[in-house]
Chain A
């Protein structure tokens, strides 16, 4: 992590107070060094903090579809695309493209309207479609980078070519967490490619705000564990003995050295680690869930079980007080990245996620959690309405759909639009920065005030950009 540019004087007592508690940490040097004004002097870095203004949502569950879901095949139907199938795009393609594409390619899937709102959803998402009245679709999303890495980092950190704190880290930094025995930010089965840990790292924010990964995209979700969470050799009773002896040694050492905040913090960190060893397995233990709930997430069938488990874990982490939970749908192949064979690729992917996502929405709703949990679904970019290699689509950051549900957004609502063919965001454009500003706003954070001083200037998730899209708010 990075150096502090400013060290503020802190009394010894302040130091000691700070060392009292906290899952994560006492990022001593950097905490002292970099605190911005939202931080009161003596608090645990992960303690729950008041937002800048009244929050609509308390937490976020981000369902990240790795590789780039095609908007015109899922939530953004384009009649003219069907009519003009095979014809050239009647306007210019972007100056910079990832690959080259040919003529317009109509969607292989039909759309239907659902719910009271009548929002259209394609055949790919029949279960999610049942929840359109709780969903807020933003059709005019656009980003800046047509490559996976750049776009993924842009979506997660706001920057496509610098290492910057991820959105989950900013949220943890801004709001802390309700359960200091768990991290504020977890990411389940993230992909190691295309930015890798930069997509969940706290960069120059204190390490406490790092996303804690459970497994990665190459690991089945039932084996996705926090690193070093279990000792495979030592029985728990022996480990308890060790901790007792360790504690005594450390206390004696502290008595010898005199008060030293970092030493005290480290003493506490071992007890916390020991508690985490219990806390994490509790969240991961589904034995208390009813068969009906497991079925809701598709845990009873092999197609949905892997992603269903991640979604159910997300709900359980949300219940346990984790502030930002990311779930990635990925695999070790090409994910949603259908440069060719759109039909089979998207169908396979959609089949894996559709039911569990619907289950998550239903479950959150029936537990009354959807009111203050913001569910965010999206990819790093969309896909071109024009064809690549006959039956595929290229990356398209110029216009794509992401949707939100719960957490204070309007349900059954569509915002913004792409052009007639779904290539460019056209009406009420929402850039990734605007999207970030809006997410923070829903959590009660002003994206212009959530700043952190580093390397000589104040940084924000939204850099110098970002407009809150007020129209989405219920």
Chain B
């Protein structure tokens, strides 16, 4: 890429002026050039000293040069004094004085000058890399809605922001997608499932103006919505049912947090509330037991992270967990990577080690674990309820009764033995008389004991949830280079000062400060919280964010493609009471969302705009058309289950076969976890270090790390999955059963098949090819005498192909 930029740069006749350096260029500068300048040059040519009248700490200064003239000629390393000096080309100008740079460092400087010497803008004002004036640290602005030429296209205010940029680029938006495309797109988008034939028919029949808005409303009310969007959040929350890393133990109660998230989305819990409960639910007042439990469960967010439970260095373990919580909180809500500052000031963002330890004190004052010695134990909140307590009491009394019965039985048997022994005074009674019981008595005793053991094993545990509570309140000292044994100055708990638009919260020695941290985050003046979240929602709707680096809004993150729209959405989101469902409506009920994809050649879109958009905006950063997108892992599996009529839509609860706190894997590699359930994918166990292979293959994110931007890869093992897995084979068989049951002749069957799988009728050519295929398969299977079986197999084979095809898992 640098190469391409370079070619473009050299093609220009004039000295290259890099007005706005690209992200890649700045990255190159920050990693390869600035360190060399700082370390080897600026001591003598910087802010303090300017030997030879030369400064090398801004592009302007480099261009201005010193006594010998300009230090660089952008694009022309050979004419640049800086390069001649470091190459030792002139006898009297060899730099740096302390010794020649390495060949690599020199090559990097040359390459940088060739690029046109890109230098971050901030440098002009004398700011460092850690620019506190970075856009993301300023509160969202109250922006004016831009003027547009095409007044017919926008359906909403949001559309005007999008259209303005499209028009600015001399392009025009794509036509509206057809209705079949739209209902398929929005149904997958909001529920992760394909629309049913009846739903498609209803929408096609609805000719009112707000037909689409009504589909959106219907889908938002479906419980399937929370399962889909809750799962998005679970990516961010790095949700898993095991701790992962080393000794891999079952998070037997993590599912309560998962169910909490699903229900939060379904009930449209305001995001500020959602955030606050996850960070500080245990500290909030509650109106009733249900609310109290919900809030306790929400703090699972802080507890379900990956942990090295066999870490033998307790001090390190504690700080590793604090770090994990802090880094996840930072990524999830602020889009910042705090983890860097554990060992040193952040290289790029204005977050220094003191800022890190100011926040870390909050989590150090929070109790996550009850035991830090290997193998460590995490805290769980008991969730007492009248019903559960009654059940437990009843059970306990049954256990006591069984135990008493056994004791009585033993006493009687002992007595019998003693009596028989008394007859022979020479026999010394053994310590345990049991060995002398008659066989029948032994057998009866064993039976009673086995029953008791089984009963105890199946006993109800009082429900509890992973979560955090308060620990000893403490301010942390800076750990020099992250080392818990090398302590620097103590930093009182505080929020990073760079986000200065929000009043500084008051931390006390009475509370960890999680409550204050949450309140600070959801302050409407906070520059990041609302922006980061609306950007996540945008990403999940469109496949890419307005800021494409959804989890990094820092200086190395990407700038927003539509900064004004981002701010407008953020403010609108807050004005709508942080309602996520309202945000969906704003986004979905827009012409932007409803455009045809570049890839859909519908009747309307045969116009010129699409071609123009594809060439003028190859990455579709302007959102001047829809994008073709592959379904995520869960949606692939759920769709297979749905179209084959096999899905079990039971909600919530645990499918774990391993008990709470028991090993998934210790020394053994025996996998006890099964995934043959027909429940929706989000209810399947998520075992860190051994994620379900169907998910692994289809780009399920690493559940050890917060992630708001799943990758989509195409690898051959995915094809093996579709060709050979039981999942695919069973879905094909199930779909064939439905198709055969629903319709009598092949034409009807083919219609049914295509509508269920693709939401459309097959073309005449497709019908013909499929019929030919059925004949071929039937011939190949001619050895089977059972005609009905042959028919079913042939259809299953065809259904298998239909489900494996691109059209099934790509949504346009």
- For residue A248, which residues in chain B have a CB less than 8 angstroms away from its CB? 769
Nearest A residue (CB) for B306: A163
- For residue B720, which residues in chain A have a CB less than 8 angstroms away from its CB? 226-229, 273, 276-277
A208-239 CB contact bits vs B (8 Å, 1 = yes)?
10001000111100000011111111110111
Nearest A residue (CB) for B629: A262
- Known A-B contacts A1-B711, A192-B671; A242 and B801 likewise in contact (beta carbons under 8 Å): yes
Is A254 in contact with chain B by the CB < 8 A criterion? yes
- For residue A254, which residues in chain B have a CB less than 8 angstroms away from its CB? 806
B804 in contact with A270 (CB, 8 Å): yes
> How far apart sit A191 and B701, CA to CA, in the bound complex (Å)?
21
A195 in contact with B669 (CB, 8 Å): no
> How far apart sit A162 and B725, CA to CA, in the bound complex (Å)?
32
> How far apart sit A158 and B268, CA to CA, in the bound complex (Å)?
43
A253-275 CB contact bits vs B (8 Å, 1 = yes)?
11011101011011101101110
- For residue B615, which residues in chain A have a CB less than 8 angstroms away from its CB? 12
A196 in contact with B777 (CB, 8 Å): no
> Can you list the 3 inter-chain pairs with the closest CB atoms, starting with the nearest?
A149-B246, A196-B689, A3-B709
- Known A-B contacts A3-B550, A456-B556; A9 and B724 likewise in contact (beta carbons under 8 Å): no
Which residues of chain A (340-367) have a CB below 8 Å from chain B? none
Is B690 in contact with chain A by the CB < 8 A criterion? yes
Is B507 in contact with chain A by the CB < 8 A criterion? no
- For residue A55, which residues in chain B have a CB less than 8 angstroms away from its CB? none
A12 in contact with B614 (CB, 8 Å): yes
- For residue B776, which residues in chain A have a CB less than 8 angstroms away from its CB? 241
The winner among A6, A30, A458 for most chain B CB atoms within 10 A is A6
B600 in contact with A257 (CB, 8 Å): yes
- For residue A257, which residues in chain B have a CB less than 8 angstroms away from its CB? 597, 599-601, 628, 812
Which residues of chain A (305-355) have a CB below 8 Å from chain B? 330, 332-335, 337
Number of B residues near A (Cβ < 8 Å) is 104
Is A109 in contact with chain B by the CB < 8 A criterion? no
- Known A-B contacts A25-B713, A150-B246, A245-B773; A197 and B691 likewise in contact (beta carbons under 8 Å): yes
- For residue B374, which residues in chain A have a CB less than 8 angstroms away from its CB? 98, 147
> How far apart sit A43 and B535, CA to CA, in the bound complex (Å)?
32
- For residue A161, which residues in chain B have a CB less than 8 angstroms away from its CB? 245, 308, 311, 320
13 pairs from A and B in contact (CB 8 Å cutoff): A3-B709, A35-B1, A147-B308, A147-B311, A148-B247, A162-B704, A193-B665, A249-B807, A260-B628, A263-B806, A269-B714, A276-B716, A456-B557
Would you call the interface of chain B mostly helix, strand, loop, or mixed?
loop
A27 in contact with B549 (CB, 8 Å): no
A1 in contact with B723 (CB, 8 Å): no
> How far apart sit A392 and B308, CA to CA, in the bound complex (Å)?
25
A61-74 CB contact bits vs B (8 Å, 1 = yes)?
00000010000000
- Could you say which of B693, B701, B711 contacts A27, with CB atoms under 8 Å apart? B711
The winner among A23, A67, A193, A201 for most chain B CB atoms within 10 A is A193
> How far apart sit A234 and B23, CA to CA, in the bound complex (Å)?
50
A3 in contact with B551 (CB, 8 Å): yes
B667 in contact with A334 (CB, 8 Å): yes
Which residues of chain A (1-51) have a CB below 8 Å from chain B? 1-12, 19, 23-30, 35, 37, 41
- For residue B628, which residues in chain A have a CB less than 8 angstroms away from its CB? 257, 260, 262-263
Is B290 in contact with chain A by the CB < 8 A criterion? no
B280-299 CB contact bits vs A (8 Å, 1 = yes)?
00000000000000000000
B333-354 CB contact bits vs A (8 Å, 1 = yes)?
0000100100000011000000
A208 in contact with B715 (CB, 8 Å): yes
> How far apart sit A458 and B347, CA to CA, in the bound complex (Å)?
12
> How far apart sit A267 and B718, CA to CA, in the bound complex (Å)?
11
Nearest A residue (CB) for B331: A455
- Could you say which of B308, B688, B804 contacts A150, with CB atoms under 8 Å apart? B308
- For residue A96, which residues in chain B have a CB less than 8 angstroms away from its CB? 312-313
Is A102 in contact with chain B by the CB < 8 A criterion? no
15 additional A-B residue pairs with CB within 8 Å, beyond A269-B716, A274-B723, A458-B31 = A2-B707, A6-B24, A41-B3, A147-B308, A149-B308, A193-B668, A216-B669, A219-B669, A227-B717, A228-B721, A260-B598, A262-B630, A269-B718, A272-B719, A456-B552
> How far apart sit A266 and B470, CA to CA, in the bound complex (Å)?
51
Is B737 in contact with chain A by the CB < 8 A criterion? no
- For residue A24, which residues in chain B have a CB less than 8 angstroms away from its CB? 715-717
A229 in contact with B724 (CB, 8 Å): yes
- For residue B554, which residues in chain A have a CB less than 8 angstroms away from its CB? 456
- Known A-B contacts A6-B27, A153-B245, A241-B777; A28 and B714 likewise in contact (beta carbons under 8 Å): yes
- Could you say which of A4, A190, A192 contacts B709, with CB atoms under 8 Å apart? A4
Is A252 in contact with chain B by the CB < 8 A criterion? yes
Would you call the interface of chain A mostly helix, strand, loop, or mixed?
loop
Is A467 in contact with chain B by the CB < 8 A criterion? no
Is A391 in contact with chain B by the CB < 8 A criterion? no
Closest-CB distance, A363 to chain B (whole angstroms): 27
- For residue A160, which residues in chain B have a CB less than 8 angstroms away from its CB? 308
Is A83 in contact with chain B by the CB < 8 A criterion? no
Closest-CB distance, A142 to chain B (whole angstroms): 16
Which residues of chain B (516-559) have a CB below 8 Å from chain A? 544, 548-552, 554, 556-558
A267 in contact with B806 (CB, 8 Å): yes
B769 in contact with A7 (CB, 8 Å): no
> How far apart sit A229 and B597, CA to CA, in the bound complex (Å)?
35
- For residue B99, which residues in chain A have a CB less than 8 angstroms away from its CB? none
Number of A residues near B (Cβ < 8 Å) is 111
A252 in contact with B766 (CB, 8 Å): yes
- Known A-B contacts A228-B725, A248-B769, A258-B599; A147 and B310 likewise in contact (beta carbons under 8 Å): yes
Is A411 in contact with chain B by the CB < 8 A criterion? no
- For residue B671, which residues in chain A have a CB less than 8 angstroms away from its CB? 192, 216, 218
> How far apart sit A239 and B108, CA to CA, in the bound complex (Å)?
53
Closest-CB distance, A263 to chain B (whole angstroms): 5
> How far apart sit A146 and B310, CA to CA, in the bound complex (Å)?
9
Is B222 in contact with chain A by the CB < 8 A criterion? no
- Could you say which of A6, A29, A246, A267 contacts B711, with CB atoms under 8 Å apart? A29
B806 in contact with A146 (CB, 8 Å): no
Is A207 in contact with chain B by the CB < 8 A criterion? yes
Closest-CB distance, A173 to chain B (whole angstroms): 14
B311 in contact with A192 (CB, 8 Å): no
B348 in contact with A456 (CB, 8 Å): yes
Which residues of chain A (145-179) have a CB below 8 Å from chain B? 145-150, 152-153, 160-163
- For residue A152, which residues in chain B have a CB less than 8 angstroms away from its CB? 246
- For residue A163, which residues in chain B have a CB less than 8 angstroms away from its CB? 306, 702, 704-705
- For residue A212, which residues in chain B have a CB less than 8 angstroms away from its CB? 717
Closest-CB distance, B4 to chain A (whole angstroms): 7
- For residue A216, which residues in chain B have a CB less than 8 angstroms away from its CB? 669, 671
- For residue B348, which residues in chain A have a CB less than 8 angstroms away from its CB? 456-457
Is A453 in contact with chain B by the CB < 8 A criterion? yes
Which residues of chain B (770-812) have a CB below 8 Å from chain A? 770, 773, 776-777, 780-781, 797-798, 800-802, 804-807, 810, 812
- Could you say which of A3, A30, A252, A273 contacts B708, with CB atoms under 8 Å apart? A3
- For residue A130, which residues in chain B have a CB less than 8 angstroms away from its CB? none
B699 in contact with A207 (CB, 8 Å): yes
> How far apart sit A197 and B714, CA to CA, in the bound complex (Å)?
20
> How far apart sit A207 and B665, CA to CA, in the bound complex (Å)?
24
A193 in contact with B666 (CB, 8 Å): yes
> How far apart sit A373 and B618, CA to CA, in the bound complex (Å)?
44
The winner among B600, B618, B798 for most chain A CB atoms within 10 A is B618
- For residue A277, which residues in chain B have a CB less than 8 angstroms away from its CB? 720
Is B486 in contact with chain A by the CB < 8 A criterion? no
- For residue B766, which residues in chain A have a CB less than 8 angstroms away from its CB? 249, 252
A149 in contact with B548 (CB, 8 Å): no
Is B712 in contact with chain A by the CB < 8 A criterion? yes
Is B427 in contact with chain A by the CB < 8 A criterion? no
Is B421 in contact with chain A by the CB < 8 A criterion? no
A206 in contact with B337 (CB, 8 Å): no
Is A203 in contact with chain B by the CB < 8 A criterion? yes
Is A250 in contact with chain B by the CB < 8 A criterion? yes
Closest-CB distance, B167 to chain A (whole angstroms): 21
Closest-CB distance, A448 to chain B (whole angstroms): 9
B236-261 CB contact bits vs A (8 Å, 1 = yes)?
00000000111110000000000000
